[in-house]
Each structure stands twice: as structure tokens, then as C-alpha cells.
Amino acid sequence: MSSTTINTPTGAARTMVLNMGPQHPSTHGVLRVLLELDGETVVKAVPDMGYLHTGIEKSCEAKTYSQAITLTDRLDYLAPLSNNLCYCLAVEKLLGLEVPKRAQYIRVLLTELTRIASHLVWLGTHAIDMGAMSVFLYCFREREDVLKIFEMVSGQRMMTSYFRIGGIALEPPPGWLERVARFVNVFPSRLAEYEDLLTRNRIWLSRLRGIGIIDSETAIAMGITGPSLRSTGVAYDVRKFFPYSSYDEFDFDVPTNTEGDCFARYLLRVAEMKESLKIVRQAMGKVPASGAIRTEAPGIVPPQREKMKTEMEALIYHFKIFTEGFSPPPGEVYQRIESPRGELGFFVASDGSPKPYRVKVRSPSFVNLQALPKLIEGRMIADVVACIGTIDIVLGEVDR
Amino acid sequence: MAEPEELQQDPIVQRLRAWDAQAVAEALDFRGECTIVVPRSHLRRVAELLAGAPDLAFNLLSDVTGVDCFPVEPRFELNYHMISIGHRAALRVRVRVHGSDPVVPSVTQVWPTANWHEREIFDLFGVRFEGHPDLRRILMPEDWEGHPLRKDYPVEGYR
């Protein structure tokens, strides 16, 4: 949180300062934006955040590597599995662990479902910001189906912590793939419904088309990633550029657009949901019915429950992992993945002790939000809501 | 520490050393990630070269991470993670600064996205950036005392 006044006022006598947020429904959390207005035109905008700063990076330094997974859920709370995945991949890279293929495919399947669920929340809340009430209810109906799948496999709808270092926490229950299949079969028709409601809707078009335009050069200079960058024609997708978790074995496209406006970002997210669905379908075919879900790494990955009852070593390792943890070799890694919002990065440094020396989260929301003034300065105040919405920020990961 | 042979052969390291023999103090490799340690005095020029030269073109600065190595000196370590979209390459540039003089040249003129990253490091580590257009706290309240991510700052805060 910083100063309550705009530091460099343009100085014109006719301007006024409007304080938008932190308690404003369309700022999607506790974002505060100071708007200097000339009539209804935004002259200057200064985002102000930190209201949700909980010191997650500092807390990670006081927890063991496994305990810190639960904190990553709380960063981007609309896509907890993406955060779990990125953190686990970072620690696995630090340790040099290889994860069994079956676990990798399950991870891909679930993170793509997360992307769909996250985009659905975005679509619903953005539509409600723009005055389209009914889309919100439909989107949340479908999102609930995805959350029920998460609940089925991990026991939790949102704070899943399902991915663990070296694999996944539990064997998915029988019948879970049928549940996924049911969702995958019904979802395309639902997606078509939203497009019927919105894509050619005149109000939707006039609120979004030509609003919040950004060009590719500015977007790259501002570090924007994810759908907002791809809406300017740059096909940067971490899944294609730096493949992780066997993404290179999947066949999917990276949709791009060249308009760079709010409407382009809407179209892209809808297109991305379709691509995610494609990946989920392929992953369903790839996941073997049985096999290891965690890698064999004594002292790092917890042993199987059954082994603990018969083998002394397994019991000792179990005890050691859950009391003192494990110690990766000293060094540091940076792992990036494509989260629903853009490039999510975890920098994990180890000093050889059982607790991470430093965990830094490169959150896409934080970086993308920085471009907000560029999108709204010189535009009408009503466009501010459209621009905040289509950048798609989650304050949990902005403030960390 | 002797540098491994393959790192001296690394095209980026060679390119930088050919450009200025002092530009790379050390090159490190861990888990397939290349780290180039740059002296503070060279950071700004190295950044301009990395971002501007067409054969390097590291145009997207992903992240800037601060690490506090207290009580080891030089205490602060800044890691700049960048990628080249054209060449599909990733690189980490590291700068080390002494705790008694925690000042680093700002790279906001090279990568405008560094603005908030540098503000965050200033806020949480107390490292100052020379030439930053708007260096003030970003996450903590403006009247906050101390820099929470320093290792000598207790997890529970000062009581």
C-alpha cells in the first residue's frame, strides 16, 4: 500500500481524484485504483495493492518443502492445482526427480480442468461486470462440475494440495474418469450456449470491442504473458516453449489474435477452453488404469502405506519425512508453467537444509496488472471495469 | 571456483566475453539452467545488450528475484530471469551487492516491466535501484518499518 494521493498529478484544475476500491465488486478482490478524472475520462491511473499481502514467501522459508505446498493453493485461489504443479515441478527439478508418466498425465488432465474452471469464473464474473447476469449462473454451474471432480480425487473443492513432490497425493478413486468423461461430453454444448449469449450480443460487443488495446511490443516490454499477450499476436505459451510434465506429447494449438483489445481476450479464453478440452480428452486416453503415482525416492517421497506396515525402512523414512523433511542439494531453480493467467514461475533456492531458503512466486497477475494504466489512460471510466476484468487478475497472487 | 569447460563454450557466455572481457564474472550451471553472474557496474550495459542485440534478443523479462544471503557478504543476490521469444531461450543474470551499499542500477529503461519487480525488492529487501522512476513501497504499508524478506527480520515480525 502506498501513498493516498497520486504522486505526479497532471495538475489541471478541472480534474478530480476518484478512489476505486479496495471494496469494489468489479476490482475482483481488494485492488485499489486511484483514478484522476477529467469529466468521465481517465487522465491518470495508479494501481495500489498489498491489502491481501500475507507474507506467503516469508512463511515458506519457515516450513519444510512438503508443508509449503499448502501455501501455494492460496496464491491463485482460482487455479490451485496450477500453483501446486509449478511448485512441485520446481522442487522436483531441484532434487532431480523424475515423476512417473501416469502421475504426469493425471497432473496434465487436472491442470487443464483447472484452466477451464478458472476461465469459467473469469467469464462469469466479467459478464456480470458488463451487465450480463445469466452467463454468471451458467458458468458457475459448469465450474461446479469441475470442482466436484477435484473433490472426488483430492477431497477438496478448492484448496486441493493434490500434487505432491514426486507425484500425486492419492490414487484417484474408481470411476473418476467416467466423471471427467461426463463433463467433457456435455461441456462443448454449454460453451456454445455462452457464445450464443455473448459473442454477437450488441451490448457485449460495444462494451468490449476496441477497448483496452495493447500492441505486441508494449505487451512484451511490460512483461505481459498468457491470453493478454496472445491477444496481440505473440504465440508465447510456456507449454509449447518450455514443455513440462509431458506437454510435448499432447497435440493442441495455441490460439492467437491480433486485435489486442478486450474482445480479443474474451475470444481467446473461449478458444483456450476448447483447446484445454482437447488436452483433457487426450490425457483421458493416455492415463494408464494402474501404475505408480509417486516416484520411488526413499527419504524424499513418502513410502506406500502398505509397505510401512511390513518394512522397517519404510516406517523410518515415513517418520523422517514428516518430522524433519528432506534436504535437497544447495542450488536454485526457476520453473515456469502456463497458468490460466500467464507465465507462473517459482524460484526455489536451497541451502541444503530441509526448509527452502527462498521461494519466490512470479505471479502473472502481478505483472499483467502493471499494464493497467496503459490500457485505461485516456479512456472512459466505464472502460476501467472492462479492462480490469479482461486482464483477469487474482489478488491472492498479486499480493502474495 | 574453476568454471566447467562446457560453460566457457556456452555461446551466450562467449558472446558476452567477446563483447567485454569483464562482463561475465562467473558462469554457473545447475539442473540445466544457465546463470551468468555480472558485476554491478556492468549490469545496465549487459541488460541493454541482452535485450537489444538481435542474436540474443532477450526481450521478455519474466521476473526479478531478490535473495538475502545474510550473514554472508555480498549479502544480496538479484536474479533476473529472462526469455527470448524469438530464440526460445531462457537465461538468468545474477548480480551480487554488499549489505553496506545495497544499490543496483535500475533496468526499467531496458525492460519497463522491471518497474514493479524493483519496487517489490526495494520494499521487501531494502535494495535501492538507481535511476528507478518511482521507487516506493508496493506491498507493505508506506509507513512500515524494516524489510520483511531479509533473513534478520523475524517471521512473526518485530514485537
The pLDDT assigned to B4 comes to 66
The pLDDT assigned to B145 comes to 86
Residue A107 has pLDDT above 70, yes or no: yes
Q: How far is A139 from chain B (nearest CA, A)?
A: 32
CB of B67 less than 8 A from some CB of A: yes
Closest CA to A303 of A326, A323, A325, A321: A321
Q: Which string of DSSP letters, residue by residue, matches A291-344?
A: S-SB---TTTSPPPHHHHHH-HHHHHHHHHHHHT---PPSEEEEEEEEETTEEE
Contact B111 A221 (CB under 8 A): yes
Q: How far is it, in rounded angstroms, from Cα A315 to Cα A292? A: 19
CB of B155 less than 8 A from some CB of A: yes
Residues 35-54 of A with CB under 8 A from B: 49-50, 53
Query: Span A119-129, mean pLDDT?
Result: 90
Q: Three-class SS of residue A351? A: coil
pLDDT averaged over chain A? Answer: 88
Query: Span A238-251, mean pLDDT?
Result: 90
Tell me which residue in A3, A62, A222 faces B112 most closely, judged by beta carbons. Answer: A222
Cell of A153: 480425487
In tens, the pLDDT along A384-400 reads 888 888 888 888 888 88
Phi, psi for residue A17 in degrees, rounded to 5: -105, 125
For residues B30 and A333, is the Cβ–Cβ distance under 8 A? yes
The pLDDT assigned to A271 comes to 92
Query: Which of the four pLDDT bands, split at 50, 70 and 90, describes residue A4?
Result: very low
Residue A281 has pLDDT above 50, yes or no: yes
Query: Span A86-107, mean pLDDT?
Result: 92
Residue A3 has pLDDT above 50, yes or no: no
The pLDDT assigned to B3 comes to 65
Cell of A338: 502456463
The low-confidence residues of chain B, meaning pLDDT below 50, are 1
In tens, the pLDDT along A288-327 reads 888 888 888 888 888 888 888 898 988 998 898 888 888 9
Q: How far is it, in rounded angstroms, from Cα A397 to Cα B119? A: 16
Contact A222 B81 (CB under 8 A): no
Q: How far is it, in rounded angstroms, from Cα A264 to Cα B60? A: 22
* Of A12 and B133, more confident: B133
Contacts of A241 (CB under 8 A, 6+ apart): B83, B85, B88
For residues A52 and A377, is the Cβ–Cβ distance under 8 A? no
The pLDDT assigned to A182 comes to 92
**ipTM entry:** 0.90
CB of B57 less than 8 A from some CB of A: no
For residues B133 and B118, is the Cβ–Cβ distance under 8 A? no
Burial of A194 (0-12, 13-18, 19+ CB in 10 A): buried
The pLDDT assigned to A147 comes to 93
The pLDDT assigned to B159 comes to 66
Contact B90 A357 (CB under 8 A): no
Q: How far is it, in rounded angstroms, from Cα B45 to Cα B16? A: 11
Q: Three-class SS of residue B99? A: coil
Closest Cα in chain A to B61: A223
Contact B139 A362 (CB under 8 A): no
Question: CA triplet B92, B94, B95: central angle to 5 degrees?
Answer: 160
The pLDDT assigned to A1 comes to 37
How remote is the C-alpha of A152 from its chain's centroid? 21
Closest CA to B76 of B111, B104, B34, B45: B104
Contact B63 A345 (CB under 8 A): yes
The pLDDT assigned to A10 comes to 58
Q: In this structure, what DSSP letter does residue A10 have? A: -
Query: Span A34-39, mean pLDDT?
Result: 86
The pLDDT assigned to A6 comes to 52
Residue A112 has pLDDT above 80, yes or no: yes
Question: Which one of A238, A334, A335, A341 makes the best mutation probe of the B interface by having the most chain B beta carbons within 10 Å?
Answer: A334
Tell me the CA distances in angstroms from A162 to A81, A85, B108, one per residue in order. 7, 9, 38
3-state secondary structure B118-131: HHHHHHHHCCEEEC
Q: How far is A181 from chain B (nearest CA, A)?
A: 35
Tell me which residue in A53, A236, A345 faces B85 most closely, judged by beta carbons. Answer: A236
